[in-house]
């Protein structure tokens, strides 16, 4: 096994999520580096780290290109840190610190941790990698718990979409909860779709265009023709950033029908009212809210009638961040 070098650079969560196959191309190296993004400190949810593993000692040109991945670090004049790892297995190292976790009926673990031997538990194996959504972040865990809650309430869904699927985890969870549903999972990043397909194989989840398979598509929002053809959906899941959530509100509303349930995450507590306001304006009503640390997960339902007057009354209500009833 050859020596491996690790390059570390601080970034924001938004910068970590924006990484794509295009801006990870490093022209100054003959090999393809592998990138891992992770939360640096649970107490500071916007502080993330980019870790790049490569099999050659990074030169100045390489480090210059890496520095461009984090505008916030560049602004603070923080330079990439370089560490020689020797002949250690960097894949194993990148998984260290990702402890298995339980979210509702789901047990999310990496390939370095064994699954639970419990028939009441659904084991899902997701390794850290370039796509966001390992289940080890509060947003994904909160979504898993919200989906599990809907199942416990007896909700049944036949047509589901996971927008911004990342690793595919939430789509896999939806398949387990509603095995007869038609499910499509999309992401703007083609790397995420590749990662989702790999994770599906690991977890024995069928991928393709058949009724029981999850269909994976690279799509900017809900623009893909296949997404429009399958609309309207009765369950929509979107675990992405607050800005894209707000921008996608009209598209998501257009893909929904009366009583469509919408599960939103990826926003901070300080962004909750802005996101909620965007969706109330297009006809959704808040039905349930849960928070993990600074990260809320909102469950909404598409109303039959809506208007700006109702929007303003609800958004100013002190109950806007609380529970509005079962759905």
| Domain range annotation of the chain | 4-95, 138-321
| Short-list 43, 100, 126, 12, CA closest to 295 | 43
Give the pLDDT score at 52: 81
138-321, CATH topology level: Rossmann fold (3.40.50)
Structure tokens at 169: 């985890």
Q: Is 78 annotated as a binding residue?
A: no
Query: Which residues of the chain carry a pLDDT beneath 70?
Result: 1-3, 18-34, 42, 86-99, 128-137, 305-327
Predicted confidence (pLDDT) per residue in 255-288, tens digit: 999 999 999 998 888 889 999 999 999 999 999 9
Q: What is the pLDDT of residue 86?
A: 60
Question: What does the pLDDT read at residue 20?
Answer: 47
Residues 249 and 281 sit within 8 Å (Cβ to Cβ):
yes
- Whole-number pLDDT of residue 13: 82
Is 92 known to sit in a ligand binding site?
Answer: no
Residue count of the chain: 327
Query: For position 41, what pLDDT does the model report?
Result: 77
- The CATH number of domain 4-95, selected from 3.30.70, 3.40.1000, 3.40.50, 1.10.10: 3.30.70
Write down the pLDDT at residue 146.
94
Instruction: Give, in order, the Cα–Cα distances in Å from 83 to each of 3, 52, 89, 94, 245.
Output: 11, 10, 14, 14, 37
Q: Is 283 a known ligand-binding residue?
A: no
Q: What share of the chain is helix, strand, coil (3-state, %, to 5)?
A: 30, 30, 40
User: Would you say 12 is a known binding-site residue?
Assistant: no
Are domains 4-95 and 138-321 of this chain identical in fold? no
């Amino acid at each position: 096994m050859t020596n491996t070098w690790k390059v570390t650079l601080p970034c924001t969560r938004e910068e970590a999520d924006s990484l794509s196959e295009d801006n990870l191309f490093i022209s100054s190296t003959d090999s393809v580096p592998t990138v891992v993004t992770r939360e640096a400190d649970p107490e500071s949810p916007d502080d993330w780290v980019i870790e790049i593993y490569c099999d050659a000692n990074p030169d100045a040109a390489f480090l210059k290109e890496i520095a461009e991945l984090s505008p916030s670090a560049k602004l603070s004049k923080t330079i990439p840190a370089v560490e020689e790892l020797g002949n250690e297995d960097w894949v194993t190292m990148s998984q260290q610190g990702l402890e298995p976790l339980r979210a509702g009926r789901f047990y999310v673990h990496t390939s370095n941790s064994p699954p639970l031997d419990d028939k009441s538990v659904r084991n899902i194996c997701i390794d850290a990698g370039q796509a966001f959504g390992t289940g080890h972040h509060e947003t994904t865990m909160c979504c898993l718990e919200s989906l599990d809650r809907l199942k416990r309430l007896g909700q049944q869904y036949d047509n589901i979409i996971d927008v911004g699927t990342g690793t595919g985890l939430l789509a896999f969870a939806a398949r387990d909860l509603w095995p007869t549903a038609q499910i499509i999972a999309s992401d703007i990043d083609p790397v995420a779709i590749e990662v989702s397909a790999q994770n599906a194989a690991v977890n024995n989840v069928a991928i393709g265009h058949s009724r029981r398979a999850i269909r994976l598509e690279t799509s900017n929002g809900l623009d893909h023709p296949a997404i429009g053809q399958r609309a309207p959906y009765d369950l929509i899941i979107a675990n992405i950033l607050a800005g894209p959530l707000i921008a996608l509100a009209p598209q998501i509303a257009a893909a929904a029908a009366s009583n469509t349930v919408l599960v939103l995450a990826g926003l901070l507590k300080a962004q909750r009212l802005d996101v909620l306001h965007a969706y109330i304006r297009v006809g959704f009503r808040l039905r349930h809210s849960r928070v993990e640390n600074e990260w809320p997960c909102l469950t909404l339902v598409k109303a039959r009638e809506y208007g700006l007057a109702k929007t303003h009354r609800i958004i100013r209500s002190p109950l806007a961040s609380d529970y509005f009833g079962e759905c």
